[in-house]
Amino acid sequence: MRIATYNINGINARLPVLLRWLAETQPDVVCLQELKAPQENFPEQAILEAGYQAIWLGEKSWNGVAILSRGHAMQEVRNTLPGDDTDTHSRYIEAIINKTLIACLYLPNGNPAPGPKFDYKLSWMKRLQEHARYLLSEDVPVVLVGDYNVIPTDMDVYKPERWLDNALFMPEPKAEFAALVGQGWTDALRTLHPDERIYTYWDYFRKAYDRNAGLRIDHFLLSPQLAGRLRSAGVDRHVRGWEKTSDHAPVWIVLDDPTD
DNA sequence: ATGACTCCCGAGGGGAGA
């Protein structure tokens, strides 16, 4: 089973890129973030014609997450991250696909830091840890995947010294991410490629993609019983070079199918 | 570096992204 995550940065503006990439790579499951479309403006028909059923949670202007599935039935479990009934951002959706729980998340950016947006990021990360702990207690394989907006280590950024004051790289979010992983999750790409420079995002400024001035901020975390099923993982880096493309590239893993 | 680049909203710039 090939599972991908892609911060699409506006699903309607990027629809040709999304469809081209789906046709080229045909993942079984796709987690999308930053739809930037209200619920009623999701391009469901085009996605269906590409061979995918979809569940999504839209929002006017910002955020928005979706899960696409090709060939496997999909059962939506929830579309909010538990722990704060006042949080209205569309940043989380979860489904069971092929006996595997897929949690698609778009973690808050948090800039500028310090400030209320940074506080929101940290509280969201604490809620995610609490929910992740609950998921680990369930008897089901889990993939926690999406745009975490966290650069985990110096290896994951082209010039660490330039990002010290940024909410993606400050000590608190890094510590919260490390605490989450420390519950027993496996960072799929880093585990399979411990010594490689891997980036999943290049900003639109200053020819960042041409200079490979990137960040690794889109992550797959696998529950312990899933880690043994991990076969390969990578970044569809070339997609970032297409016309009218997102500032993120798609990231993917391949898992062995469940045995039972 | 209050930069740059690109989206959405909506009809002109402003907010957000990372």
How many domains does chain A fold into?
A: 1
A65 lies in which domain range? 2-255
**Stretch A231-237: mean pLDDT, rounded?**
98
| pLDDT tens digits for range A153-190 | 999 999 999 999 999 999 999 999 999 999 999 999 99
Residue A60 contacts strand B, CB under 7 A: yes
Res. A258: pLDDT tops 90: no
Residue A176 contacts strand B, CB under 7 A: no
Residue A206 contacts strand B, CB under 7 A: yes
- Residue A260 located in a structural domain: no
- Residue A45 located in a structural domain: yes
Cβ contact A67:A102 at 8 Å: yes
Cβ contact A221:A173 at 8 Å: no
CA of A59: nearest nucleotide by C1' is B8
Pairing label, strands A214-215, A53-57: unpaired
Catalytic positions of A: 106, 147
Torsion of CA A56, A118, A5, A13, to 10 degrees: 60
**pTM, full prediction:** 0.98
- Residue A130 located in a structural domain: yes
- Residue A161 located in a structural domain: yes
CA of A60: nearest nucleotide by C1' is B8
The CATH number assigned to the domain holding A211 equals: 3.60.10.10
Report the run of H or E that residue A122 belongs to, with start and end. Answer: helix A116-137
| pLDDT tens digits for range A81-140 | 999 999 999 999 999 999 999 999 999 999 999 999 999 999 999 999 999 999 999 989
- Residue A179 located in a structural domain: yes
Residue A129 contacts strand B, CB under 7 A: no
- Residue A57 located in a structural domain: yes
